[in-house]
Structure 1
Amino acid sequence: MLGLNGTPFQPATLQLTGIPGIQTGLTWVALIFCILYMISIIGNLSILTLVFWEPALHQPMYYFLSMLALNDLGVSLSTLPTVISTFCFNYNHVGFNACLVQMFFIHTFSFMESGILLAMSLDRFVAICYPLHYVTVLTHNHILAMGLGILTKSFTTLFPFPFLVKRLPFCKGNVLHHSYCLHPDLMKVACGDIHVNNICGLFVIIFTYGVDSVFILLSYALILKAVLVIVSREQRLKVLNTCMSHICAVLAFYVPVIAVSMIHRFWKSAPPVVHVMMSNVYLFVPPMLNPIIYSVKTKEIRKGILKFFHKSQA
């Protein structure tokens, strides 16, 4: 946007866009997003409550699951204000500084999710490859230190980004392509030298998604090597079944991330609706699916849910 003297400046507000080709304010669109938020928030709150109150779930695996549920709540609540205002109330403006705050929290929680999934893969690696040392390696203090380390890493790597955006002038309008604020989207409407933003963004992606995914793959390679040594086929399947929930959670998170990255880099001519829908999948699907995955695939979680309902009916 240009000021009165013709120089670029930062807009007071930014205009958000819903889904290209779909008019905001439609009841069915708003209903879909409300259902997604309800499933995500209720599901993750249920996991947190269940792990807190059920003594049988006071184990390292479920402490990491609580971290994942808490982080997924953060992802959902970060996008909720602007998404609901855009689709439910047809109000699609957000203050510039508020947009930067939302951008910071969305990306921070997203990168934290990758770190938590890595910690959960370490949990499975120790449980399967070194079962006798499981309790001594993954103590409460070590789990707390890992959680704080993930938080610190994500916070410190993302902290400069609002300031890197704040320094830029905006001369390409104030219309964003999503119903929430993302760093790449803000770069599309900024002018001036954005090389620093791009370099920092690439570094953070490699330092988080890249490194985390490599170590997750490595941990499962070692797990598979240990499982193949087991003679009994039934025992091998039983051991692998303890990893299925985590594998599904990893796929639910990384497949959309990879898809968004591939479309952004190799299919730049894709219709805008493709970019928007994939970004929505990346932000909305994992927080919604993770509680469902662990409720269906984890026997202890199912038992805890049934026990809770029996107590409620008693």
Structure 2
Amino acid sequence: MRIGFVGLGVMGRPMARNLAAAGHDLALYRAKPDVDGHACESAADAAERSEVVILMLPDTPDVDNALFGADGVAEGLKPGSLVIDMSSISPTATKTFARRIEELGCEYLDAPVSGGEVGAQQATLTIMVGGRPEVFERARPIFEVLGKNVTLIGGPGAGQTAKVANQIVVGLTIEAVAEALLFAEKAGADPAVVREALLGGFASSRILELHGERMINQAFDPGFRIRLHRKDLALAIQAANELDLALPNTAATQQLMNAAIADGDGDLDHSALHRTLRRGKS
């Protein structure tokens, strides 16, 4: 396919490389030298050259601007084009974006991912999709290049809702692992040995396995930055407010992330919450 790709950062760059390696013809906005494709001067230019446009951007305002700002994707779309937003943004805003793109005679999917930079590099991402089933089927060959677990969750915005739920589970589990390992250390046990024991029991998890090791080794190169995870938990709390729903532990974990950012750790991996707890911040 002819694919426009907008957003070539930590996640977008390896995803674009995988698409190029699979034989897709890429039009790249803000191209990087190590990604094969045509370098475009604007998001509109990338859209004009493509039948599918993928966005992989940090936050809701970034997607809004890339789609509908000056020289944005919407200005370059042709009737029948497909826009796939793989960023992690507001489910509410996503529904509005989908409606506006569909009013142009085009199609829209929200398809946020989980799996981090390693998943993007190895094409093993989990992809959570919102949109119409027939549009999902059109995009399936693209998703199968990028990930291993691809699920149509529901209508527009449902993919973003699933991603917010994912980030609640991941954030709270990281915080729980950090508390447990810090508790073990302060109580006089070797946290590395405690972790090994817990991996054989009911407390075992992928986060205990991977991020628990990061915490023990104090190895916090990102991964997934605390700053971005805080943004995702803010989306959860915003949506919960709209639903009159209490998410007390999500709010507490977001506050811990606020403390980490205030201490200058916002660009470390989210497992660095262990450092924040060690400093006694809450």
The structure with the larger Rg is: 1
Q: Which has the higher helix share?
A: 1
TM-score by length of 1: 0.30
Which structure ranks higher in relative contact order (CA pairs < 8 Å, sequence separation ≥ 6)?
1
TM-score by length of 2: 0.32
Q: Which has the higher strand share?
A: 2
